[in-house]
Structure 1
Amino acid sequence: MWVVFVAWVVLIFLYPLKSVNYWVKDLCNHTLATFLGIEGAVFLIFSGPILVIAFLSIPYLIISRKQQLHHHEKKNSGKYGWSHRLSTFPVLVDGPFGVVSAAEVIGILSVIVFVIWAVFVYALRDLTILEETELTNKTKISYMLEISALSVGLIGIFCVAFLFVPISRGSFLLRLIDVPFGHAVRYHIWLGHLTMIFFTLHGLLYIIAWTMDGTLLQNILEWPESGVANLAGFIGLVAGLLIWVTSIPPVRKHYFEVFYYTHHLYIIFVIFLAMHVGVIFFSIVAGSIFLFMLDRLLRFCQSRNTVDIVSATCFPSGILKLVLSKPKHLQYNALSFIFLRVKEVSRLQWHPFSVSSSSLDGDQIHLSVFIRALGGWTTKINENFSSISRADESLEDQLHLHPHINVEGPYDHELPHHLMYENIILIAGGVGIAPFLAVLSDIFHHMKQGKPCLLKHILLVWAVKRSNDLSLLSTTDMNVIHSNLSNEVKLEFHVYITQESEPPSEAESRLDDNAIKSFAFPVANRRNMLSGLVGAGNNIILPGIYLITTTIGFLILVGSLNTFYINTNNIPIGWFHGILYLACMAASVFIFGGSVIGLWHLWESKFSQMSCDQDLCQHYNEPEIETRKDLCEYLASSTTIQYGIRPNFKDILESIQGHINVGVIVCGPPSLESNVAKQCRSLNMRRKIHHTIFHFHTHNFHL
């Protein structure tokens, strides 16, 4: 995989050179009359590597799954793996990029170097072409703008070749490099900005050139049978600009619906890109778009299922806990998140939430999340369940009142990072405690079952605004976890209540306790479980069959198209050929991929039904809600609770001494991430050879 990847990257860097460009054109001419078609060579050279790496990642993940944990055990004991430090060493902590690791900085610099190199080479080539032409000064300027626009467009095409890789949520590529979708979406945002900069410049240069020639309208409306379809490019550029403008932070933050709905114009963007550039240049980006289409169909099929709600708990701090039904065979790491859609609120919007339960918990047929009422979408959901809890109807009647929920995921790291260190520091802000409750439960079950776990010390730091947020701990049996972990691991809690100067009175505690409403829905109706079509977990073989079958189907359709239609009818290389090529991609995904998904779904339904019948008599036992007094007594005996102050992360991190690796995992607002990352960076840069090194991880999802 490294050989394929390095060769691929080197070829992309060298492509702007005239000699490499001619070599690719020569290969295209040799495949012109074959079943591969003129696009065959381009597809194999530029899209083939990404598919080959995806194929090879299937056996790699299967074979190395058991070996990877042992590999990390050796890596994190004694000698420090340099590659591991690059991915967990924060370099940039403030600014528009957020917290950026050393590995991400290297990636950003590599892209910048490629852009500068490509612009430089294309500029030299364009100047050489210009010197060889005999034109007037005005015509030379116009011609220079046109050939510069073409060069800029080519750079944009290579950006698109990577653009769709990070947003393939269940992609083998993301699992291979162990990048969760919550992090990968940032790379998509960065690549999206870069892509639209070049495509916008590409369009502007042409518009200026055509305006100088007095042929603007004529050229924009041009849609020839062969060659470049300018009108298709103009339509695609307008769609891209709408996506770009509505994705800037102010719009995305304050008008999320506008951002979300407009982003679906990517379908128009891809279709008209294929018609504009034609089959040859579209073959450069076909690999990543094909993988995205595969992932999108899986997500669509998974999200059709309505998942049953097992129970709901409403807390006075505006937080809702939902427990959802899942099949027993569906496994996931503790630091996972899922996407939820509630039809009664919006049929299109999907929002991510951290999973607050371990797949090893109890009967293993439930998954829970916490939802804090912040925006309009989450507020409506909380109000809906609050009204159900106040209703006078029986539970059977309430079953028809609760919202219909669809789920995508869970998505997570391929490896559980919280089990890879001897010492971990979990830093949470507010409802960010949710995934760490899953982490504590997961560690407890790993040790109980004798599974590999390096942990010797856990420090949990939790900053909340008010003490009523402490009731979230009552949803987990903290006494059992603490008493069992304390035999194997040193477990410390540091709680900071920032907006209260003293503990609440007994009357206030009773009032908050009465405000906690928990209710369960009937077990007999709990038949619809979360599907395992998407997500990391332990399912590799079936997604691998899906990927390989669909790719073979795509090659069969393209080969048949070229053999029986394109070559025999001498179809010109233009917009029609490009849209037929894209149609083959879509048809292979729906026909061949859909067949695999259908069989997969039948197997999963049968397996889940058997599991459901066996477990139907089991009732979900929500941990008994402790009173505020009992909970505070427990916390006082096992934690440090401080009122009216914020945590001093410099002192907290410096309190860890020794020649050890410490995993620091943060879940909270961006300001909390930046603060902790800044301290980790400072201590790592000042550390001596035998001092502690802090490995920074974040568990957040920012759109």
Structure 2
Amino acid sequence: MMPTNTYNTWMIVIQANVDSTTYFSPQGDTIIMFTFPVLFIASLGCVYLYLGKKYGASESNHGWRLASWSRTVLVKGPLGIVSWAELAFLFMFIALLICSFSTYVHLGFETITPQSASEQGLQVWENKLTIVALSLALVGNVCLAFLFFPVIRGSSVLLPLFGITSEASIKYHIWLGHTVMTIFTAHGLCFIIKWAALNRMWEMLTWDKVGVANAAGQLALLSGLVMWATTFPRIRRKMFELFFYTHHLYVLFVFFFILHVGIIYACMMLQGCYLFLVDRYLQFLQSRQCVRLISARVLPCETVELNFSQSPGKRGWTSLSSQLGFKFPRVLLVCSFKNSFSLMMLDLLLPMSNTLSDISSLQIQIEAYVTIEEEPISNHQDQLKTLCFKPNFTDVPISSILGPNSWLWLGLIISSSFIIFLICLGLLTSYYIYPIDQNNNIYPYYSRTLLNMLLLCICIAITGSVAFLWNKKQRALEVKQIQNEDAPTPKMTSPYSLSYNADCELESFPHQLLVDATKVHYGKRPNLKKILLECEGSNVEVMAAGPKKLRQEVATICAFGLAENLHFESISFT
């Protein structure tokens, strides 16, 4: 509705009833219309996910997705592997951007006449270029409002509501990031062309006390361009550390963007940034803790496994080995290795600790393929090595930073921090800004913006810290219990080792079951099409993890109607 005249009519009424007050002044309408609804949905979503977890529902099943819409439609191309639902939302989002831009331009051009242009001392094309530049900025802000949601990892609320994992949503962040920078770069170039044509390039460095700060906009765009340049695949893969550290320029990008447009306009994209700040701060608090490292296993194929202590609530499917009436699904693992030494990676399927009480109930079948060897090559020197570590008294098990009721605590943090922010903002506006400004827009925009950002960060820090300290106290007793339970398993011979060490004890029962469930094929690659089409069952979830070509091959098999019971998912580590 925003580009239309209907929206403008509504805004006149809202501003007359909200902005005229001394409590929020001019930013009240944007907070009510843009920031509050999303944060309210996020808080309710936390309660919904908390209740679903409490009563046994899986977070991954909260999405309202039909099987046909989740089926893959595109396998190759710049977008990667895309489902029908993703493609539909992508087209709708592009349509929203095009419709918004065309409406802004159309309504803006209607106000431009040769007479109005001459009164401003400008030509018609210069006015039209300004309208195009401003329309690009408004459309770019729509993309920016969505940019942070896909990268809210530890405390993502809206993604689980639609059955989307944080790993699967990274590509949405990539799409939005390229779109944001393309639009904002075009926005900046339009103004640079205008200033160059008018011989007024000095306007690039202006920082008005009231209004748009051009210099802050240039700094934001420069930060974004440097960050954007390192995101392309060739640079990101070859120089990942450069990409990683350069990506922290998003702090400067957001900071100067808000200074550029002012806090009133920035409230339109504040909701995503707000939830992102909550997530980053909670992860910062969690990173200050030392996690207990129990042991490490080193394989001859240069693979290392680290075993950390976990709280009972974090032991996923092993705690389901105890729920009455739970039936494990049948699992088929198809893996491909270059040589037979890499087969020892299958050892890592079993945990070091004795948390798995009954592996016989896990219906697992392993088809392992060794591609470059026709037969096993024996080597009596290569054995799995296990290193056990003495714990430090300050170490804690891996657990949710907000405890077992993390969703409920997260909802409290989001709602309470925003309420405190509104109260502090109202007091600041009523007793400091309004006596100076009197709603005449004479108070400096950058001062108002800095005060708002400072208040927002303080409110998030206070509520997040209180929740963290409260849950930390509750976990103190749990830590002692975990440290006593996490005794590492004694040294044992790998069941996949090609040599036999007579001095070592025989393999344990769980290891033997794993060996019996494994079939090794030498000198060939897996026929994925044949394997997948032979899978029985009305609902077969197919997870592909590995190189791009592997994921594309599996997606092709699942996508084009060869088997209606196959549902594709993938994990990309690139």
TM-score (norm. length: structure 2):
0.88
Residue 100 of structure 2 corresponds to residue 112 of structure 1: no
Q: Counterparts of 2:426 and 2:64 in 1: how far apart (Å)?
A: 45
What amino acid sits opposite 2:98 in the alignment? I
Q: Counterparts of 2:286 and 2:405 in 1: how far apart (Å)?
A: 17
Which residues of 2 match residues 16-31 of structure 1 at below 5 A?
16-31=3-18
What amino acid sits opposite 2:526 in the alignment? P
SS at match of 1:511: coil
Shift of 1:147: 1.4
Are the equivalent residues in 2 in contact too, given 1:299–1:533 (CA < 8 A)? no
Label 1:617 to 1:459 Cα distance change in 2 as closer, same or farther (>3 A).
closer
Identify which of 181, 201, 212 aligns with 1:216. Answer: 201
Which residues of 2 match residues 395-474 of structure 1 at below 5 A?
442=317, 446-450=320-324, 452-453=326-327, 455=329, 457-474=330-347
Gapped regions of structure 2 (runs ≥ 5): 501-506
Which residues of 2 match residues 322-401 of structure 1 at below 5 A?
322-326=306-310, 328-331=311-314, 359=315
Identify which of 564, 567, 571 aligns with 1:699. Answer: 571
Q: Counterparts of 1:668 and 1:446 in 2: how far apart (Å)?
A: 28
Deviations 1:300-329 (A, max 9, x none): 010011223211121111111111233x24
SS at match of 2:308: strand
Q: Counterparts of 2:477 and 2:355 in 1: how far apart (Å)?
A: 31
Residue 130 of structure 2 corresponds to residue 146 of structure 1: yes
Q: Counterparts of 2:387 and 2:67 in 1: how far apart (Å)?
A: 46
Q: Counterparts of 1:305 and 1:111 in 2: how far apart (Å)?
A: 41
SS at match of 2:558: helix
Label 1:128 to 1:116 Cα distance change in 2 as closer, same or farther (>3 A).
same
Q: Which residue does 2:552 correspond to in 1?
A: 674
Shift of 1:533: 4.6
Are the equivalent residues in 1 in contact too, given 2:328–2:363 (CA < 8 A)? no
Q: What is the RMSD of the two structures over their aligned residues, measured on CA atoms?
A: 3.0
What amino acid sits opposite 2:303 in the alignment? I
Shift of 1:541: 2.4
Identify which of 507, 524, 527 aligns with 1:645. Answer: 524
Q: Which residue does 1:572 correspond to in 2?
A: 443
Identify which of 501, 507, 515 aligns with 2:374. Answer: 501
Residue 26 of structure 2 corresponds to residue 44 of structure 1: no
Q: Which residue does 2:176 correspond to in 1?
A: 191
Residue 139 of structure 2 corresponds to residue 155 of structure 1: yes
Q: Which residue does 1:624 correspond to in 2?
A: 492
Which residues of 2 match residues 678-693 of structure 1 at below 5 A?
678-682=556-560, 685-687=561-563, 692-693=564-565
Identify which of 529, 553, 557 aligns with 2:396. Answer: 529
What amino acid sits opposite 1:518 in the alignment? T
Label 1:700 to 1:563 Cα distance change in 2 as closer, same or farther (>3 A).
same
Label 1:67 to 1:279 Cα distance change in 2 as closer, same or farther (>3 A).
same
What amino acid sits opposite 2:522 in the alignment? Y
Identify which of 478, 496, 504 aligns with 1:608. Answer: 478
Identify which of 88, 92, 96 aligns with 2:74. Answer: 92
SS at match of 1:663: strand
Q: Which residue does 1:562 correspond to in 2?
A: 429
Q: Which residue does 2:504 correspond to in 1?
A: none
Label 1:233 to 1:44 Cα distance change in 2 as closer, same or farther (>3 A).
same
Q: Counterparts of 1:636 and 1:287 in 2: how far apart (Å)?
A: 51
Label 1:620 to 1:635 Cα distance change in 2 as closer, same or farther (>3 A).
closer
Shift of 1:222: 1.3
Q: Counterparts of 1:569 and 1:616 in 2: how far apart (Å)?
A: 63
Q: Which residue does 2:49 correspond to in 1?
A: 61
Label 1:28 to 1:536 Cα distance change in 2 as closer, same or farther (>3 A).
farther
Gapped regions of structure 1 (runs ≥ 5): 1-13, 76-80, 332-358, 361-441
Are the equivalent residues in 2 in contact too, given 1:666–1:697 (CA < 8 A)? yes
Are the equivalent residues in 2 in contact too, given 1:168–1:291 (CA < 8 A)? yes
Are the equivalent residues in 1 in contact too, given 2:328–2:362 (CA < 8 A)? no
Shift of 1:528: 0.7
Q: Counterparts of 1:54 and 1:534 in 2: how far apart (Å)?
A: 19
Are the equivalent residues in 1 in contact too, given 2:212–2:261 (CA < 8 A)? yes
Are the equivalent residues in 2 in contact too, given 1:305–1:531 (CA < 8 A)? no
What amino acid sits opposite 1:472 in the alignment? M
SS at match of 1:130: coil
Deviations 1:589-611 (A, max 9, x none): 1233333333333333x233443
Q: Which residue does 1:252 correspond to in 2?
A: 236
Residue 418 of structure 2 corresponds to residue 548 of structure 1: no
SS at match of 1:181: coil
Deviations 1:497-537 (A, max 9, x none): 112221113xx2x1222xx32210124x3541245354897
Deviations 1:10-49 (A, max 9, x none): xxxx111123134225423432223122111111111112
Are the equivalent residues in 2 in contact too, given 1:476–1:623 (CA < 8 A)? no
Q: Counterparts of 2:133 and 2:489 in 1: how far apart (Å)?
A: 64
Shift of 1:582: 1.7
Label 1:652 to 1:245 Cα distance change in 2 as closer, same or farther (>3 A).
same
Residue 158 of structure 2 corresponds to residue 173 of structure 1: yes
Q: Counterparts of 1:467 and 1:258 in 2: how far apart (Å)?
A: 36
What amino acid sits opposite 2:517 in the alignment? S
TM-score (norm. length: structure 1):
0.73
Q: Counterparts of 1:545 and 1:661 in 2: how far apart (Å)?
A: 37
SS at match of 1:620: coil
Q: Counterparts of 1:482 and 1:607 in 2: how far apart (Å)?
A: 24
Are the equivalent residues in 1 in contact too, given 2:321–2:357 (CA < 8 A)? no
Q: Counterparts of 2:356 and 2:241 in 1: how far apart (Å)?
A: 42
Q: Which residue does 2:281 correspond to in 1?
A: 297
Label 1:193 to 1:139 Cα distance change in 2 as closer, same or farther (>3 A).
same
Identify which of 227, 246, 252 aligns with 1:243. Answer: 227
Are the equivalent residues in 1 in contact too, given 2:529–2:557 (CA < 8 A)? yes
What amino acid sits opposite 1:520 in the alignment? C
SS at match of 2:381: helix
Are the equivalent residues in 1 in contact too, given 2:321–2:358 (CA < 8 A)? no
What amino acid sits opposite 2:388 in the alignment? A
Residue 16 of structure 2 corresponds to residue 34 of structure 1: no
Are the equivalent residues in 2 in contact too, given 1:662–1:693 (CA < 8 A)? yes
SS at match of 2:267: helix
Shift of 1:496: 0.9
Are the equivalent residues in 1 in contact too, given 2:141–2:269 (CA < 8 A)? yes
Deviations 1:549-596 (A, max 9, x none): 211211112111211112111053623222222222112112333333
Q: Counterparts of 2:122 and 2:467 in 1: how far apart (Å)?
A: 59
Q: Counterparts of 1:324 and 1:636 in 2: how far apart (Å)?
A: 25
Label 1:325 to 1:601 Cα distance change in 2 as closer, same or farther (>3 A).
same
Shift of 1:52: 1.0
Shift of 1:295: 0.8
Residue 271 of structure 2 corresponds to residue 261 of structure 1: no
SS at match of 1:166: helix
Please, which moves more after superposition, 174-183 or 267-276? 174-183
Shift of 1:446: 2.8
Shift of 1:492: 2.2
Shift of 1:285: 0.9
Q: Which residue does 1:201 correspond to in 2?
A: 186
What amino acid sits opposite 2:468 in the alignment? I
